[in-house]
Chains A and B, each alone.
Chain A
C-alpha cells in the first residue's frame, strides 16, 4: 500500500499550495502586525501570538507573485520551526487533503528560479496541481540571500 500523506492547503495568487500537516502549528485569521523597518520586504511584520512574537512572511512576495490587492486581508498559516513559529501570509485557506506518493512530480526546469528553490514539487490532484512548499527554505533562504 503506497504511503499517504496529509497536506494543509491554501491559495496564494490563485496558486494552490500544500504544506505537510505536521509542520503547521495553527491557522489564524488576519492578525494585526507591527511592521519591521529595514527588514526585507518579505517580512510583513510581527504578530503577537499569545505572548510569543511571530514573524509574518508574505508568501506572495516570497514567491515573486503579484502584490495582494488593496483591501484583501491575508490569512496566517503558522509554521513550526526550530526558532519558534513563523507565519506565512496567504490569501485563502483550503482543506486538508490526503495524497498518494505516486501523484508527486518534481518541478519542471522551466520553473522560475526564485520559486524553484522553495517549491519541492507538485502533487497532481483531480483538476489541479498542488504545489508542495519547502517550509524550511521559505523561512530561511531569503535572509541568506539578502545578506
Chain B
C-alpha cells in the first residue's frame, strides 16, 4: 500500500511538472508551429502520463490522455497541421488531466468528471484530418513531411545512433496502440545507443560503426533499425538497450538533484534564524572579551553562520519564472476570450525569490496581469485606430535592487483614465466630487487601491467584481512590499512591485526611542539625516504646528517616534530628541548630594577621600559632565563655562577641607560661604546648558518610505544595522499595527520591529486623502489669528529693494522655474506645474500702481541666471505662484502688525530683523487676482455633474 502511495505521489509530482512544461510548450508551439522538438516534448509528456496511469489503473485519465496522444502523434508526424482549435483542445486536455490529478491527490481516484465531450473533440479533430488528409502513413519513409529531404526525426538530431529512432518508428506506424514498445527517450542523451549495444555484447563496435556509416550515406533509418534488419540484434534487445540508456540518463539527472520537503526547509530556516540570534549574542559578548582564541573562534562562528544563512536561504530560492510561466497561458486564454491580441515578453525570469514570497505573490501577480489584459490593452481595432500595432504587448520585468526584488508589469494599452477613475470613486461614494476636483494625479491613481473599487465598465468573468487591486495591495504589503502605478494615458500603465528577498531574516536599522530599541526593516529605509547645532534650528520648520524638514528642497513631514509611541509628554524636546538621554535633573541632584556629604564631613560625620574632593571627575556631576553624551556638546561655550565653574568649585572645596584641618574655623566658614555661591553658579550653568542643548540638540531623522509617501522619523539615537529574525507577536498584541513583530537583540533583550506602514497611518502621514480637506479649512480659519503669534516668515526682496514677507506656513512650496518655461495665456503668465497650469504673479506687476507712485520703477524681470524664484501658494482649489526677486531668509518672529494696510494684497507692515517689512496677504491675492485656471474649473464642473 505504502509503495503504491509513493509511486502515486511520485507520479503526481512528475506529471504536474510535465504538464506545466506542456502548457508552456503549447503556447510557444503556436508561435512556431513547425518545431518538431517542441511537439516531440509535448508528445512524450502526454505519452508518459498515459503509460503510467494505465499501469496505476486510472482508466478515465488513461483514456483522455490516450485521445490526446493520438492527436499529438499525428501532429508530430506532420500529417496534421496545428490550428488554434487544436491548441485549445490540447490545452483543455491539459486542464482535464490536471483536474484528475488533483482528484487523485485528494481522493486517490481519478474523479467522476465527464470528459467525453473533450475526448470526442479530440477524436473529431483527428478524424477530420484523417479524412481530408492523404493516405494514412504506414511507414516512416512514405509519410509526407514538411521537409522532404530528410525525415524530421533525423533532421533534428545529429546523424548518429539515436534512441528515438526505434521508438518513433514504433509510435508512428501504429499510433493507437496504447502499450507501445518503449518509453520515448529524449534526444539529448548522454551516451549513444550504439555503446549500449556494445556493452551488452550483442554487436561489436565495428558493426555499429558500419550502421552509422550507412546512415550517413543517406539511409533514412536509424541505427537500431539497421541493426535489426541486418539480423545482428533482436528487436527486444533494442528495447533493452534503450532502457539501459534511459536509466543511465536518469541517474545522471538524479545525482544532481533531490527533492526536499518544503517543511524540512522551513525547519532548517528557523534553526538558522536561532543560530543567527545566538551568533549576534556571542558577538556582543566577545566584544567585551580579551582572549584571542575566543575572539578568533567567535569571528569564525560569525562567518560560518553568515554563509550557512546564505546557503539555506539559497535552497529556498526559486526563480520568478515559476510564477511567470503560467502567464503566457493565462494571457492567451484571456486575450482570446475578449478578442484581443497580446504578446507576452519577459525579462529577468531567473530572478530568485524566497519560496514563501513566490507563493505570496502568485495570486496578486496573476490578478495584475489579468487586469492589464482586460482593462489595459485595447482591442485590435481600437489599437489600430490609435496608431498602435494590433498586437498588444505585456511586459514582465524582474530584477534585484538593493536587497529587494522589483517586479514590473507594464502594458502598452490605453493607460488609466483618471477622470473615469474619479467619477467612479464619486459614484461609489468613496470620495466627494469636491475632493475629486482637487485630487492630484497620484492620489487619483491610488483610488484604484481602495476597497470596493473597480473601473470595469461591465463585469466580466475576469475582473470587475470589485475585489481586486485592494487585495493585491494588501497581500503585497503583508509580505513587506510596496505597489505603485505609473500611468501614461494613451500609452499604457506600469505596475511596480517592490518586495523583500526573504521574510525570515531581514536586515534592519536599530534605533532608540525613549530608552528602548526598535528595529526598522531596511526595505522602508531611504536615508538617515542628522541635524546638529544650527542645522536644527534652521532645518526644522513647521507648517501650522506640523513639523517638517526641508530635504533637498522638498518638505518632509516629521514624525516623532517617542510621541507616536505615547512616551512624549509634549514638553520641551519637540525638536531636540537627544535631550531625553541627558538627565539634567540627575546632574543637579548629584551635585546637591555631594554638597550634603561635604557638609556632613565638615561637621565630623561621614568620611571623605581627600584626594577625590579636589578632582572634578569623581563626583556624580563630574562623571556626567565628562560622559560622551554631554561631551558631544563640547562646542558650546556654556559647557566650557560649566566645566570651569565645576572645577573651581572642587578646588575651593579642597581648600575648605585644608583650612578646616588647620582649625581656622572662621576662614573655613568664609570659604564655605563662597563655596555655596560657586555651587549656585554651577547649578544655574547646568540649567543654562539645558536650555542651550535643547536648542542645539542633534536630531536624528530616519527617512522612510510608506506607500508613495516619504516621512522623517525622529528618533533619539540611530544605533546600527543588524540582521534580525522576525518573530510574530502574540495574539494579544496582533492588534497593534504599529509593530510588525519582535526580535531578539544581541544582548538577549527583546526589541520591537516597527511597522512603517502602520506607523505612517498612526501619524496620519498617509491618510491625507480623506483629511486634507478638513485640514485646509482649519488652516484658512487659523490664518487670521496667526498674525499675532510667533511664527515663521519667509522673507524676500520686493521689487523696490524693500522687504516683504509671507507666513511660511502658507507657502506650499518654493520652486525655481527657468524663464524659458514661462508661457502666456492672454496677458497672464503661466507655467506648467505638476500636470496643471500655475498662474504666475510678479509682485512688481501686482503692485504696479502703488510702486509707480512710489518710485516709478517698472516691473523689471525678476530673474536670476535665467531662472525665477517662485513661492507657490495653494488654497483649496486654486494655486498661484508669486515670482520674487530674491528669497532672503526664514525667520521666526513674534509678529505684530504695526500698520495695517488698506491696499489690496498687503496685510500690513511689521518690523522684522530691524527693518520694516510688508506682509503679503496671499489669501486675498488669490481671491482678487488669480482666476481659477480654465482647465481646473472645467474639471470641477464635470465632477459636479457626475455627482
Contact = CB atoms under 8 A, between A and B. Distances in A.
Interface in B707-741: 727, 729-733, 735-736, 738-739
Interface string A26-52: 000000111111110001011110011
Given A34-B516, A38-B738, A53-B727, A48 B748 contact: yes
A38 B727 CA distance: 19
B733 A37 contact: no
A142 B749 CA distance: 26
B751 A34 contact: yes
B763 to A, nearest CB: 12
A52 B274 CA distance: 10
Contact of B565 (A33, A37, A45, A47): A37
Given A34-B750, A38-B566, A86-B730, A143 B277 contact: no
Interface string B267-306: 0000000100100000000000000000000000000000
Given A83-B730, A84-B730, A34 B749 contact: yes
Given A36-B733, A86-B730, A48 B565 contact: no
A43 B742 contact: no
B880 interface: no
A110 interface: no
A139 interface: yes
Contact of B744 (A35, A51, A84): A51
Interface of B: 274, 277, 514, 516, 565-567, 727, 729-733, 735-736, 738-739, 742, 744, 748-752
A39 B731 contact: no
A55 B730 contact: yes
Instruction: Indicate the member of A36, A47, A142 with the most B CB atoms within 10 Å.
Output: A36
Contacts of A46: 729, 742, 750, 752
Nearest to A45: B750
B752 A143 contact: no
A84 B741 CA distance: 15
B567 A143 contact: no
Contact of A139 (B277, B514, B565, B732): B732
A147 interface: yes
A51 B744 CA distance: 7
Nearest to A54: B730
Nearest to B743: A53
A45 B250 CA distance: 57
B565 A55 contact: no
Q: Which of A51, A143, A147 has the most CB of B within 10 A?
A: A51
27 contacts: A32-B749, A34-B516, A34-B742, A34-B749, A34-B751, A35-B516, A36-B739, A37-B567, A37-B738, A38-B566, A38-B738, A43-B733, A45-B750, A46-B742, A46-B750, A48-B744, A48-B749, A53-B729, A53-B742, A54-B730, A55-B732, A81-B731, A84-B730, A140-B732, A142-B732, A143-B732, A146-B735
Interface in A40-73: 43, 45-48, 51-55, 57
A3 B514 CA distance: 52
Contacts of B736: 36, 38-39
Contacts of A37: 514, 516, 565-567, 738
A51 B733 contact: no
Contacts of A139: 731-732
A143 B731 contact: yes
A143 B734 CA distance: 10
A86 B729 CA distance: 11
A2 to B, nearest CB: 36
Given A38-B738, A39-B736, A51 B750 contact: no
Contacts of B735: 143, 146-147
B78 to A, nearest CB: 63
Contact of B731 (A35, A38, A53, A140): A140
Given A55-B730, A86-B730, 13 more contacts: A33-B750, A34-B751, A37-B514, A37-B566, A46-B752, A48-B749, A51-B277, A51-B744, A52-B727, A53-B750, A54-B730, A55-B729, A139-B732
Contacts of B738: 37-38
B565 A38 contact: yes
Nearest to A147: B735
Interface in A101-147: 139-140, 142-143, 146-147
B732 A43 contact: yes
A43 B514 CA distance: 18
A53 B732 contact: no
Contacts of B516: 34-35, 37
B732 A51 contact: no
A59 to B, nearest CB: 14
B761 to A, nearest CB: 13
Contacts of A36: 733, 736, 739, 752
B517 to A, nearest CB: 8
B328 to A, nearest CB: 43
- Please list the 4 inter-chain residue pairs (A to B) with the smallest Cβ-Cβ separation, ordered nearest first: A37-B565, A34-B750, A46-B750, A55-B730
Nearest to A55: B730
Contacts of A84: 730
A143 B736 CA distance: 11
Contacts of B749: 32, 34, 48
Contact of B733 (A32, A39, A48, A81): A39
B769 to A, nearest CB: 24
A47 B732 CA distance: 14
Contacts of A34: 516, 742, 749-752
A48 B281 CA distance: 13
Nearest to A82: B731
A134 to B, nearest CB: 16
Contacts of A33: 750
B274 A51 contact: yes
A146 B739 CA distance: 17
Contacts of B752: 34, 36, 46
A48 B750 contact: yes
B750 A47 contact: yes
Contacts of A38: 565-566, 736, 738
Contacts of B751: 34
B554 to A, nearest CB: 30
A90 B766 CA distance: 42
Contacts of B567: 37
A68 B744 CA distance: 27
A35 B752 CA distance: 9
- Which among B733, B738, B749 has the greatest number of chain A C-beta atoms within 10 A? B733
Contacts of B730: 53-55, 83-84, 86
Interface string A73-97: 0000000010110100000000000
B798 to A, nearest CB: 49
A135 to B, nearest CB: 13
